[in-house]
């Protein structure tokens, strides 16, 4: 497919020569250009580095062998698809990777028609491929889907549901299994390479078809030897699982030798049946510092190319206060201390032990803390059984991934009311990963489940209290959410919490500031936003009451009295309006017959784009200045004036020192 002449600021450029006309030397040179561009941009913007570098050669081979118009490329997760973006007209624009208004870190058809499907969660690709293959068959189209899936995604049930149907229906499809941590099988050297050629060769495929038809006509007693002959081809390769499912297997092959890749992909294309091509790659290929199965190089921030060191060092405080740590680190340390004193405490995560802070607990207590792989549904159901057996399970999963286990949360945890504790990391706006990763749904979908208790800390100090409360609470399932990065309150002071933390009391809110007329209600990180607006309003002479809701389910009955005694209430929470915090409050007030205006500063119904958190919040009107202006507009509409009449105070602008 012809390429535009595209250049980067440093002179890297894709050749004008169409990729299908390049010789092998030119293809290797192209792969190096792509790696250089990925390193150039990711070292400045951050992103998924090692997986993208490792898949460069595969993607070059895909673009060389297949025509995307007839063979749509379907990427699983798609965090490994940077080379595909570069080869499909986005080489120059790639400098805006993961920036607000720029190139997404994942595939997205809204960005380019070259991206067949949006992908940010794993294990969807083969199922999508089956759907494409069905459509092609019904429409009589030529071509087949080409799927690229990583070995990690093979741990999810959805993958095997799709493989099960594919093996039965035999739709033509090429599945490229990118095994980048040798978790499926190890290479068998020259013999393996020879077998890969042999198995993919038309002569072998012809032999298999002949054997199959021959065996169908022979009695079992006469066909035994013939069966053993065919089985011998499969038993000396690692693909017997797939072969037994009815899917042809080629591999494993070296994923960094373009000659081998091109040869096997061409053979797979010509087989006209479902084929898995097992390719082994090295994560971080081409950047020695990152080469290997190192989790820290999977997703990175900006870093120095020469040393690999991050450009922005994590903020630290001289007094090593609790507010200096990330919420994930605070959760990890707190759960570790609890686990040391209580052998009944267990925990599980779905392929993100480092991301959710369970890594150190797995190292110390490997029999009590587990990584189940990309299997959120299994995580939830297995912990439901452990809760029934009297253990104290903590399920640690990102908000965006927990929604994949919605059925299990209802059916296996909720109905029996089992005390499973859900620690929801990355709640709220997460930034550069965008639509597929924003943690904005958990309040709405968990709040509708009977028996569930939902609460949230406002800062690191109260996160400690939240984990302890969850440990003690054994009468129902519960879930608490916390942010990626830092709580707003923890960014304002480093030596001690702004508000002294207190123990969580079941179903009780906490009044942080007594006032008149106006109530600012914060939930979780929303307390920090409400605090900033509260300070701005006080500067203008208003007297707001500030409430940390703490529990959105059940709601504190006393909250109704607080709202009823004030003229107007504002709600701050990193969640959607539909089914969110203000919705819950309005439901309670409606049942009590209380008619008071509740203004929600939660998000409207939309999928939030990618970009750094600050840019996204400003775009959505969630920065301090916008929230304060919106609050004043509402107060003006309702004719609510400052308690203290002070023209000097009223003329002041929002304090920039309070901005985070």
Alpha carbon distance, N-terminus to C-terminus of the chain: 47
Q: From residue 420, give the alpha-carbon distance in Å to each of 45, 342, 450.
A: 38, 16, 14
CA 159 to chain centre: 17
Residue 456 to residue 463: CA distance in whole angstroms:
8
Give the strand pairing for 510-513 and 544-548: antiparallel
Q: Is 410 helix (H, G, I), strand (E, B) or coil?
A: helix
Structure tokens at 579: 């089914």
Provide the 10 A C-beta neighbour count for residue 628.
Answer: 23
Closest CA to 640 of 561, 537, 549: 537
Residue 577 to residue 583: CA distance in whole angstroms:
7
Q: Please identify every residue annotated as catalytic.
A: 283, 376, 404
CB 638 within 8 A of CB 567: yes
Cβ burial 428-460 (10 Å sphere, 16+ → b, else e)? bbbbbbbbbbbbbbbbbebbebebbbbbbbbbb
Q: What is the DSSP string of 209-277?
A: HHHHHHHHHS-HHHHHHHHHHHHHHHHTSTTHHHHHTT-EEEEEEETT-HHHHHHHHHHHHHT-SEEEE
Cβ burial 385-399 (10 Å sphere, 16+ → b, else e)? ebbeeebbbbbbbbb
Neighbouring residues of 593: CB distance < 8 A, sequence distance ≥ 6: none
Q: What is the DSSP string of 440-487?
A: -SHHHHHHTSTT-EEE--SSHHHHHHHHHHHHH--SS-EEEE--SS--
- Sequence length of the chain is 660
Query: Is the CA virtual torsion 373, 375, 379, 381 positive or negative?
Result: negative
CB 206 within 8 A of CB 248: no
Structure tokens at 532: 């900033």
Q: Is 348 helix (H, G, I), strand (E, B) or coil?
A: strand
Residue 489 to residue 660: CA distance in whole angstroms:
9
Tell me phi and psi for residue 186, to 5 degrees.
-95, 155
């Amino acid at each position: 497919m012809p390429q535009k002449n595209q250049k980067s600021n440093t002179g890297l450029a894709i050749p004008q020569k169409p990729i299908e006309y390049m010789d092998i030397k030119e293809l290797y040179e192209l792969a190096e250009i792509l790696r250089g561009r990925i390193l150039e941009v990711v070292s400045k913007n951050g992103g998924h580095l090692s997986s993208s570098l490792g898949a460069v050669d595969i993607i070059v081979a895909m673009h060389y062998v297949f025509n995307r118009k007839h063979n749509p490329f379907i990427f699983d997760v798609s965090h490994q698809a940077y080379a595909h973006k570069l080869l499909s007209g986005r080489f120059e624009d790639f400098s805006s990777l993961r920036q607000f208004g720029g190139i997404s870190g994942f595939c997205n058809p809204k960005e380019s028609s070259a991206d067949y499907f949006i992908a940010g969660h794993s294990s969807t690709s083969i199922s999508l491929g089956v759907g494409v293959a069905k459509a092609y068959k019904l429409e009589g189209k030529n071509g087949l889907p080409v799927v690229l899936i990583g070995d990690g995604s093979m741990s999810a049930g959805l993958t095997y549901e799709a493989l099960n149907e594919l093996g039965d229906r035999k739709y033509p499809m090429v599945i490229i299994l990118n095994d980048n941590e040798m978790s499926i099988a190890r290479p068998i050297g020259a013999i393996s390479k020879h077998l890969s050629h042999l198995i993919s060769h038309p002569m072998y495929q012809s032999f298999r078809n002949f054997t199959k038809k021959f065996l169908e006509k022979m009695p079992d007693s006469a066909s035994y030897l013939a069966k053993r002959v065919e089985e011998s081809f499969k038993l000396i390769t690692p693909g017997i699982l797939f072969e037994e499912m009815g899917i042809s297997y080629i591999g494993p092959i070296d994923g960094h030798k373009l000659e081998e890749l091109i040869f096997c992909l061409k053979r797979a294309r010509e087989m006209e049946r479902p084929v898995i091509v097992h390719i082994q790659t090295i994560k971080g290929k081409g950047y020695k510092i990152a080469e290997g199965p190192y989790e820290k190089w999977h997703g990175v921030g900006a870093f120095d190319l020469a040393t690999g060191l991050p450009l922005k060092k994590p903020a630290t405080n001289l007094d090593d206060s609790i507010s200096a740590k990330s919420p994930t680190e605070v959760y990890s340390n707190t759960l570790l201390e609890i686990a040391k004193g209580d052998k009944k405490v267990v925990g599980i995560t779905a392929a993100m032990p480092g991301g959710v802070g369970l890594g150190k607990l797995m190292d110390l207590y490997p029999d009590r803390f587990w990584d189940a792989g990309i299997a959120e549904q299994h995580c939830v159901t297995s912990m439901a059984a452990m809760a029934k057996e009297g253990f104290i399970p903590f399920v640690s999963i990102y908000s965006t991934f927990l929604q994949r286990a919605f059925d299990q949360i209802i059916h296996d945890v909720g109905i029996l009311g089992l005390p499973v504790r859900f620690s929801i990391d990355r709640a709220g706006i997460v930034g550069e990963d965008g639509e597929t990763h924003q943690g904005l749904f958990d309040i709405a979908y968990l709040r509708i489940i009977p028996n569930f208790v939902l609460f949230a800390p406002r800062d690191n100090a109260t996160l400690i209290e939240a984990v302890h409360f969850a440990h003690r609470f054994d009468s129902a399932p519960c879930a608490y959410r916390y942010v990626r990065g830092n709580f707003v309150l923890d960014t304002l002071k480093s030596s001690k919490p702004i508000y002294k933390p207190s123990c969580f009391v079941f179903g009780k809110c906490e009044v942080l500031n007594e006032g008149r007329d106006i109530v600012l209600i914060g939930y979780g990180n929303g307390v920090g936003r409400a605090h900033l607006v509260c300070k701005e309003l006080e500067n203008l002479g208003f007297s707001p009451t500030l409430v940390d809701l703490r529990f959105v389910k059940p709601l504190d009955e006393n909250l109704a009295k607080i709202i009823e005694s004030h003229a107007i209430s504002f709600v701050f929470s990193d969640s959607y309006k539909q089914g969110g915090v203000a919705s819950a409050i309005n439901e309670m007030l409606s049942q009590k017959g209380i008619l008071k205006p509740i203004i929600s500063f939660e998000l409207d119904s939309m999928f939030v784009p990618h970009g750094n958190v600050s840019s996204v919040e400003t775009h959505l009107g969630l920065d301090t200045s916008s929230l304060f202006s919106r609050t004043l507009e509402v107060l003006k509409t309702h004719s609510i004036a400052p308690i203290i009449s002070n023209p000097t105070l009223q003329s002041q602008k929002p304090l920039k020192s309070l901005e985070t």
